[in-house]
Amino acid sequence: AGSDDPPCGGSVRLLLNLPPPASEAHLLQRQQGQCAGCRAPLQPTARRQSIFLSSLGLKGSGPSGPKRCEYTGQLYCARCCEGSTAVIPARVLHEWDFKRYPVSSLAAEYLASIYDQPMLCVAAVNPGLSARVALLARVHDTRVRACKALRLAQSQGGAGAASAERLLKAAG
């Protein structure tokens, strides 16, 4: 596994980049034919089954084949990937995409635990996103104004503090 690959086994960390596209065969080779969660042997999805699922518009593999976690980009067995879905932070940060995607059970648990945590500065990870998303630009502008008001309040005392408080309430 490469140095950017998420670890195999029982831990998950915050990933801010989308996993690169890779074929099932490539992932099986990179993972030495093992589930990224429990290291159980994985069998490739049968070609006919894969074609059938694709014709139905379904992604991934059937119950006997490995399942790709859209968060880690790795393959998991049916026990470690039981149909959980989650919003992928990297998709939000890079594509402003809040859809839920299939993830491993471990990734689903981790992502649920951090869902409401303000952990990232969007402007630091993807500075161009606020130019494409009006809501982010508005939030950024409100924050800049709030910081200016707070500095003003610190320098002027009582009257400036009331003005800063009003602006902060408006920012939500």
Model confidence pLDDT, tens digit, residues 127-156:
888 888 888 888 888 888 887 877 777 677
Residue 4 covered by a domain: no
Please tell me the predicted confidence (pLDDT) of residue 39: 93
Q: What is the CATH number of the domain that holds 21?
A: 3.30.40.10
Task: Write down the pLDDT at residue 89.
Answer: 94
Q: Number of structural domains, the chain?
A: 2
The reported pLDDT for the residue numbered 150 is: 77
Q: Which residue blocks in the chain are alpha helix, DSSP H?
A: 24-30, 47-55, 89-95, 105-114, 122-125, 129-132, 134-156, 158-171
Full residue range of the structural domain in which residue 157 is found: 133-170
What are 77's two structure tokens? 């067995």
Residue 128 lies in a domain: no
52 within domain boundaries: no
Residue 58 counted as domain residue: no
Pair 111, 137 in one domain: no
**Same domain? 143 vs 98:** no
Residue 127 maps to a domain: no
